[in-house]
């Protein structure tokens, strides 16, 4: 249940060959690690204990959490992808704080990369992007920005801390009651979808079985792709959809083409679960605050324009379900959508029965301006998320400085040719542009 990010950098002008070595020395001499990066779970061998909580790691070892790797020079994107795939395959040690950072050197032209993984119990994608922005600078001459583990995470209530006041508790209860009629109307509409009377609205357990909705191994494969945001925005404007709709269309096109090649395309459309950020504007982040909707990827449709329009109709219908709901009710509705998944995971039948949906596709907004780390320019930010039993493919999108960066992570043994998926997504973009523009 760890997430990660791969950050490739162009070194600053005049950087010495031992740039990363000097950086490692600097990190060891830096101020103490800030909370929550020095916290671990109290009972690592009993993770389901109701008395579980975070405690400070009194024997924190920076050398365990911050590492340095070298690729055979000159390292290419393939070698980098292989290393990151292997690093992401390793389960985290629950006897230690749940994060690791790896600096990777040896890329062509003196470039280097940073791969960081963090357990999802600590942060969600929104918070991760806030931390990324806060650990870097828009000034290429800035050299003193502290790394993320030397910065404290935005404050949240401590585990086990009681609600501050009765009035706060009353407000929570009132919000829940206010959202109840909207919730039950949304549930009724889901019932119509299950009965076939609302084909645009997708409900749990309507997804077909695919080759990646099986049991998975611990091994991962990772692939990346990057697009100019302006290309996707142009398509969204012409089609009357959103940037996210176009991104879903690229994923749908890639999955359709790959499954056709493998003679494994279902007759029914694949369904994606889309996490929804529930934070208000300018929220400082911290912890997790995520809802969910389901949408069709229209993989049963050959024509790319018709496929895009079907996706737009499906996402609009899913968003209508959330209209008028307070945050607490959205969480309640999301829990309903994910209930079949929860049952599958709890009973151990995930990957052996029909999936609740086929794939998770997340879109996390990132920094709009180029960022620099110790003068090195961040080229892209490729996210890595979580495959799990029954759901062996996860696609996460992240915008950064006018680009959309895509991270495809899947089970190495259950989903062959993952790199082709990234290539086919690029071809899907060209196909849409030819048809629409």
Alpha-carbon Rg for the chain, nearest whole angstrom, is 22
Assign 146 a pLDDT band (cuts: 50, 70, 90): confident
The answer on pLDDT for 144 being more than 90 is no
pLDDT tens digit sequence for 101-113: 999 999 988 899 9
Model pLDDT, residue 143: 83
Model pLDDT, residue 175: 52
Which of 255-264, 266-275, 315-324 has the lowest average pLDDT? 315-324
Among the options 119, 120, 150, 389, which is catalytic?
A: 120
- The CATH code of domain 2-150 reads 3.30.559.10
pTM for the model stands at 0.87
| Structure-block tokens of residue 333 | 């509705």
pLDDT tens digit sequence for 360-397: 999 988 899 999 998 999 999 999 999 999 999 999 99
Q: Does this chain's domain 2-150 share its CATH topology with 180-436?
A: yes
Higher-pLDDT residue of 50 and 175 is 50
Q: With contact defined as beta carbons under 8 Å apart, do 398 and 228 qualify?
A: no
- The CATH code of domain 180-436 reads 3.30.559.30
Neighbours of 388 (CB within 10 A): 17
pLDDT tens digit sequence for 394-416: 999 999 999 999 999 999 988 87
Q: With contact defined as beta carbons under 8 Å apart, do 298 and 311 qualify?
A: yes
Listed by start position, the domains of the chain span: 2-150, 180-436
* Whole-angstrom distance, CA of residue 382 vs CA of residue 87: 15
Higher-pLDDT residue of 369 and 180 is 369
Beta strand pairing call for 99-107 and 66-75? parallel
Assign 125 a pLDDT band (cuts: 50, 70, 90): low
* Whole-angstrom distance, CA of residue 369 vs CA of residue 371: 6
Neighbours of 154 (CB within 10 A): 15
Query: Is 120 an annotated catalytic residue?
Result: yes
- pLDDT mean over 194-220: 88
Model pLDDT, residue 163: 32
Model pLDDT, residue 155: 43
């Amino acid at each position: 249940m760890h997430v990660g990010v791969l950050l490739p950098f162009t070194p600053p002008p005049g950087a010495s060959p031992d740039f990363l070595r000097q950086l490692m020395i600097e990190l060891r001499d830096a101020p103490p690690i800030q909370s929550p990066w020095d916290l671990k779970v109290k009972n690592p061998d009993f993770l389901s204990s109701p008395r579980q909580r975070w405690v400070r790691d009194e024997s924190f070892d920076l050398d365990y959490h911050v590492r340095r790797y070298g690729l055979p020079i000159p390292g290419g994107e393939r070698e980098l992808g292989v290393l990151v795939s292997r690093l992401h395959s390793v389960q985290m040690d629950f006897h230690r704080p749940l994060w690791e950072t790896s600096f990777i050197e040896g890329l062509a032209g003196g470039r280097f990369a940073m791969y960081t993984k963090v357990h999802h119990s600590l942060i969600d994608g929104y918070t991760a992007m806030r931390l990324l922005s806060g650990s870097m600078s828009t000034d290429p001459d800035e050299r003193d920005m502290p790394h993320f583990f030397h910065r404290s995470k935005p404050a949240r209530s401590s585990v086990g801390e009681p609600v501050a006041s009765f009035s706060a508790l009353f407000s929570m209860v009132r919000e829940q009651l206010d959202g109840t009629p909207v919730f039950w109307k949304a549930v009724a509409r889901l019932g119509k979808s299950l009965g076939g009377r609302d084909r645009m609205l997708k409900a749990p357990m309507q997804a077909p079985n695919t080759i990646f909705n099986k049991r998975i191994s611990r091994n991962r494969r990772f692939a990346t792709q990057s697009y100019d945001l302006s290309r996707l925005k142009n398509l969204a404007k012409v089609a009357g959809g959103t940037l996210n709709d176009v991104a879903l269309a690229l994923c749908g096109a890639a999955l359709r083409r790959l499954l056709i090649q493998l003679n494994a395309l279902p007759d029914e459309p694949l369904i994606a679960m889309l996490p929804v950020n529930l934070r208000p504007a300018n929220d400082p982040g911290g912890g997790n605050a995520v809802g969910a909707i389901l949408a069709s990827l229209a993989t049963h449709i050959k024509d790319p324009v018709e496929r895009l329009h079907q996706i737009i109709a499906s996402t609009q219908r899913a968003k209508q379900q959330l209209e008028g709901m307070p945050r607490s009710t959205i969480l309640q509705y999301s829990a309903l959508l994910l209930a079949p998944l929860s049952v599958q995971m709890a009973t151990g039948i995930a990957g052996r029965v029909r999936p609740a949906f086929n794939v998770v596709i997340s879109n996390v907004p990132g920094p709009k301006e180029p960022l620099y780390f110790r003068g090195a320019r961040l080229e892209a930010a490729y996210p890595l998320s979580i495959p799990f039993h029954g759901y062996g493919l996860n696609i996460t999108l992240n915008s950064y400085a006018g680009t959309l960066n895509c991270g495809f992570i899947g089970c190495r043994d259950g989903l062959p040719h993952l790199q082709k998926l990234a290539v086919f997504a690029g071809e899907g973009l060209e196909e849409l542009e030819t048809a629409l523009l």
